[in-house]
Amino acid sequence: MSLYKITRLWNTGEVRVNDFEDEFNEPNKHEAFYQLADYDIFKYVSIGDVGTLQWVNLPITINFDQEKMTLPFDLDLIVLYEKSQPISKYRLVQTNELV
């Protein structure tokens, strides 16, 4: 069982799942992305202002308009959607517990 799954309700009405575990082995990603393989970092995911997934505990510095800015590491919404799977592809177990 992967600890690195995030389930989201999209504005299309779909419920989709991103499983990041396999992506940690893919090349050519931002160096900060690979730090998410540390569950103590990954577990602090939150939703940013524009609805993207972000990690405030994983700051990155970017150059914008000749100015350096430090922001939480976040993932592009389009890429998240494209890499997600419909929840129907996952076997769900009812627990009868309120979470």
Non-local (6+) Cβ contacts of 71 within 8 A are: 59, 60, 61, 62
The pLDDT of residue 1 is 67
CA-CA distance, 34 to 29, in Å (whole number)? 8
Instruction: Pull the structure tokens for residue 61.
Output: 């510095």
Question: How many residues appear in the chain?
Answer: 99
pLDDT tens across 14-70, in order? 999 999 998 998 888 899 999 999 999 999 999 999 989 999 999 999 998 999 999
Query: pTM for this structure?
Result: 0.81
